[in-house]
Amino acid sequence: MGQQPIRMCVFCRRKLPKVELTRFVKYDGVIVRDDTGSLPGRGAYCCKDDRCVRMAEHDEKGLLMKSFKKN
Cα angle value 17/20/21 (rounded, 5°): 95
Q: Which of 3, 20, 11, 21 is nearest to 65 (CA)?
A: 11
Q: Which residues bind Zn ion (CB under 5 A)?
A: 9, 11-12, 47, 49, 52
Smallest gap, in angstroms, from Cβ of residue 49 to Zn ion?
5
Cβ distance to Zn ion smaller for residue 12 or 28:
12
Cβ distance to Zn ion smaller for residue 28 or 50:
50
Cβ distance to Zn ion smaller for residue 25 or 47:
47
Smallest gap, in angstroms, from Cβ of residue 68 to Zn ion?
17
Smallest gap, in angstroms, from Cβ of residue 38 to Zn ion?
22
